[in-house]
Structure 1
């Protein structure tokens, strides 16, 4: 009965796979979490035993939307990191070269077919997008349709088997094994790096969350500041505080850089907590319980950084380059890069395309938005003209191909839409008035597109999954573990002893080259701060684009060697 129902209405199997799979994927064991994609695949493989099949057109459309959105959101950071982050980018190259070599060795020694080889790459590198590009490449091979179907089912089976072991291995390697091999205390190294980048010292996690970095205080101006301009005081404390308003003779006045203070003025001062604590004695006596004039010092605005001379500059350098009247009253409290928040410290380097959170008075943050980039205004509208043209161009690019050394290679729809998404996302970051694709809309395209595609191929692969597991047994998980340990160890040695990278950021970069969100989450938990995320975002941006392009390469090489 169940079999007949699922076969007649395969959409039931699709949404069962999505719902139950994401429920399974939400459970955590320490830092280990399967995630919705892997959970969906497991459920789809089980339901596939009953024979439901999803139309191939739906599968292809879902994957095209997913891969375009992936490129679109990663485009600005990808191009920013290609040149500037070459030391970290080298680790992504190490990842790709080493996993390709290991896959080909496994093909020769274990006589793997192209589908199993591509699935191993996707699972060990925890990069689900490889499934789509490899599956499409297999469909273009000059072999019997039954053989194509078998190899395509082997892609998802090999992925599901190797993914779990690859995930556990990269989490343990970055957070436990690598620090042990280097003989370092990872928390102490992260605290040292935090201070090197200009952090406020070794606060415990709870303190760092509890103490607000930006505060407003009211002072009665003392004799030490009588006749002194507010600009001089602000400069004395590194422009880390701002006199927002001054009340003189009962009249509140908004002040500028050249405003001269007088003994007895009531001043509202806004800025970084440490600067206010240091300056309190010089300014005067703090007045407790006083109404803070109702001034809007807490205006918050997210902007996209597009300013050319900000590329590669630290936050401290950016402030030094600004004229006092330009940078006055503007505070950067957060930096978001590839949907990850990196520490907004004086020594943190910026990339064009970063999302900066500005806090201050309304006029100040709007002035900062104009000089640094453009405001990221909340919007729910998607530019479907831009989206549709982007996907169509991607499909056209997918027909580009050729033969390299006797191996037939082509981008396919996946590779074409990925490159198109990169280009369209980069153009959008430079010309923000065109091509609106809100982050929430892009995320649903990625999440639903990939999950739908994975469920469709999982349902098709169900009957053949058991055969592959029986054929290779424990060999597939072991190869998956090696495909994590070998690139990780190579990157550890190269990054530490040749590139001289700081250990927390190096380990974050290794997590990023594996596209592993659980690994970076575990690292942040062990280090106690977010310094590893700085290295993670660079390699994640590169590997997340380069690894899917390797799907057709693995299929072509494995078919030739086989």
Structure 2
């Protein structure tokens, strides 16, 4: 009865796959968590035994929206990291070359078909988008409908099996085995790196700083009498700023030329260590209600200034003129969907979102020098979105012949490139192309999982056959293909590129596009230093790996 209902109304099977799949994916066993995509696929493979099928048109639309949103959100970071992020970018190249080589080795050894090879690549690299680009490539091979459906089903089954083993492998490798191979204490290394970058200590999961890095205090002037405000701020490297001066109950505008007098009450703000150091030299801290009407503004700014790319937070302050830097501080840095520590030694990249803190006029001035203000909005520019997807579909029709292999981007590859381009345009011209982060996230999540559920339902009948045919070969191949690039990257990153261990391990998790791996790493290290390396390789691999889908389909046809 249930099977008949699902076959008659496949939309029930679709939403059941999403709901139950995300429930399964949310279960966490130690550091391992499957995630909603893999959970959805497992449930869809089971429900697919009922014969429920989703329209191919819906599947294609869902994938186009997902892949465009993926490129759109990653565009600024991708282009920013192509040049100056070359050391980490090498690891993404290592990932692609080694994975392709190992998959082709598995094709020759086990006589894998093109669908199984592509699924093995997607699962071992834990990159779900490859399922879509490879499925499109198989659809263009000119095979019969039955053969096309069989190969596309093999992609999904091979992906689901190898993903499970690849996920466990990369999580355990980055958080447990790699530190043993390098003979380092990962937590101690992370604490050392945190201090090197200018941090005061390490944070465990769920913790926050009891002593925040940015503070404000009211001080009665004694020792600093006779100094100008500009001289006082310069004395502490402009890491403090005088926000207000109260003299004989009159408020004086805090200009650099103002000379402080004994008994003045000044409101200072800035980095905690500088404020603590400055108070005894200025006078004595006072407590009262005079600062109750003083506020600090927060402003999110997309960094677009070319000259700031690659500089640390401390270098940005040092190179700015006192008039530009005065009274504005960077309290947080968001890169892609991750928050990285805004320490003095943290490198900034174009496309980062910087949270500026200070007086309203100060943060507005800082925003104008660094980039553009990210305004909170709930409106999506559907003209920009629709045009972007159309351009992607047009690009997807382009094809080229490489070494006797026809390579076509397809809708997936075309929409990915269009998303990159339109995301970059948005970062340069912020008045057009609004796509709020929440809207982009729902496009990515719902688009990908709808696509995965649709292909999982259609592949359900063939899943058992493929698993019986290859047995333990797929799980073993998944582990080897995951470990291969991770081990090579560990050697290259540590001994050739001389990367810091926490950042290197974060970069290995990023080249694998593995969110569970970076989550486990942050838990082991006790701070966010691995995220700095993770964001760079994640941005690059998230774009480059999906483009490998059509390539592996073509190569597997030659080597199989």
TM-score, normalisation: structure 2: 0.98
Counterparts of 2:54 and 2:147 in 1: how far apart (Å)? 19
Structure 1 match to 2:300: 302
Whole-angstrom CA distance in 2 between matches of 1:247 and 1:513: 54
Count of equivalent residues: 560
Q: Is 1:252–1:293's contact at 8 Å kept on the other side of the alignment?
A: no
1:369 aligned onto 2:367: yes
8 Å contact from structure 2 (residues 297, 358) kept in 1: yes
> Deviations for 1:48-67, whole angstroms, at most 9, x for unmatched residues?
00000000000000000000
Partner in structure 2 of residue 530 of structure 1: 528
The Cα of 1:206 is off from its aligned counterpart by 7.6
Write the mapping of 1:265-280 to structure 2, written as runs, cut at 5 A. Answer: 265-280=264-279
CA distance in 2, matches of 1:318, 1:442: 31
Structure 1 gap segments, 5+ residues each: none
Matches within 5 A, 1:308-457: 308-457=306-455
The residue that corresponds to 2:490 in the other structure is 492
- Does 2:502 correspond to 1:504? yes
CA distance in 1, matches of 2:241, 2:30: 44
Post-superposition offset of 1:253: 2.4
Q: Secondary structure at the match of 1:409?
A: strand
Contact 2:334-2:340 within 8 A present in 1 as well:
yes
- What is the match of residue 250 of structure 1? 249
Asked if 1:219 corresponds to 2:222, the answer is no
Name the residue aligned to 2:85: 85
Runs (4 or more) in structure 1 with deviation over 6 Å come to 203-207
User: Retained in 1: the 8 A contact 2:203–2:526?
Assistant: no
CA spacing shift, 1:558–1:312, aligned 2, 3 Å: same
Alpha carbons of structure 1 residues 154 and 321: separation in structure 2 relative to 1, 3 Å: same
Q: What is aligned with 1:469? A: 467
1:160-309 → structure 2 map (5 Å cutoff)? 160-201=160-201, 208-222=208-222, 224-296=223-295, 298-309=296-307
Of 552, 555, 562, which residue of structure 1 is paired with 2:553?
A: 555
Cα displacement (A) at 1:373 = 0.8
**CA positional deviation for 1:291:** 3.4
Equivalents in 2 of 1:49, 1:58: separation in Å?
A: 20
CA separation of 1:276/1:205 partners in 2, compared to 1, >3 Å: closer, same or farther? farther
How far is 1:200 from its partner? 2.5
Q: Quick one: distance in 2 between partners of 1:320 and 1:402?
A: 49
Partner of 2:33: 33
* Partner Cα distance (2:103, 2:311) in 1: 39
Note if contact 1:242-1:271 (Cα within 8 Å) is conserved in structure 2: yes
Determine helix, strand or coil for the equivalent of 1:77: helix
TM-superposed CA distance for 1:545, in Å, is 0.3
In the TM superposition, what is the alpha-carbon distance from 1:71 to its structure 2 partner?
0.4
Give the deviation of 1:370 after TM superposition. Answer: 1.1
Q: Is the 8 A contact 2:205 2:523 kept in 1?
A: no
- Secondary structure of 1:226's counterpart equals coil
Cα-to-partner distance string for 1:184-208 (whole Å, 9 max, x where unaligned): 0111111111122122256777875
| Cα deviation digits, residues 266-321 of structure 1 (max 9, x gap) | 1111111111111111111111244315111x211101011121111111111112
For the residues of structure 2 that align with 1:540 and 1:194, how far apart are their CA atoms?
A: 21
Contact 2:380 2:435 in 1 (8 A): yes
Deviation digits for residues 151-184 of structure 1 (CA, Å, limit 9, x no counterpart)? 1001111111111111111111011100000000
Counterpart CA distance in 1 for 2:354 and 2:203 is 24
Q: Check whether the contact 2:214–2:270 (CA below 8 A) recurs between aligned residues.
A: yes
Distance between the aligned counterparts of 2:205 and 2:444, measured in 1? 32
1:204–1:425 Cα change, 3 Å: closer
Unmatched 5+ residue regions in structure 2? none
Superposition pairs of residues 74-113 of structure 1, within 5 angstroms: 74-113=74-113
Counterparts of 1:309 and 1:277 in 2: how far apart (Å)? 32
- Matched ranges for 1:134-149 at <5 A: 134-149=134-149
Point out the more displaced range, 342-351 or 354-363: 342-351
Distance 2:196 2:256 in 1: 30
Matched, 1:150 2:146: no
Q: 2:88–2:507: 8 Å Cα contact kept in structure 1?
A: yes
Structure 1 position 440, deviation (Å): 0.7
After superposing the two structures, state which structure 1 stretch, 179-188 or 313-322, moved more.
Answer: 313-322
TM-score by length of 1: 0.98
Match of residue 67 from structure 2: 67
Q: Could you tell me how far apart the structure 2 residues matched to 1:17 and 1:450 are?
A: 13
Could you say what secondary structure the match of 1:181 adopts? helix
How far, CA to CA, are the matches of 1:232 and 1:206 in structure 2?
Answer: 40
Equivalent residue of 1:427, what SS?
helix
- Determine if contact 1:218/1:290 at 8 Å carries over to the other structure: no
Per-residue CA deviation, residues 458-496 of structure 1 (Å, 9 max, x unaligned), is 000000001111111111111111111111110000111
Instruction: Report the Cα distance in structure 2 between the residues aligned to 1:168 and 1:284, rounded to whole angstroms.
Output: 58
Q: Deviations over 1:416-467 (max 9, x none)?
A: 0000000010111011111111111111110110010000000000000011
Matched, 1:515 2:513: yes
Cα deviation digits, residues 89-143 of structure 1 (max 9, x gap): 0000000000000000000100111111111111111100000000010111132
Distance 1:436 1:206 in 2: 33
Q: What SS does the aligned partner of 1:381 have? A: coil
Q: Distance in 2 between matches of 1:202 and 1:169?
A: 27
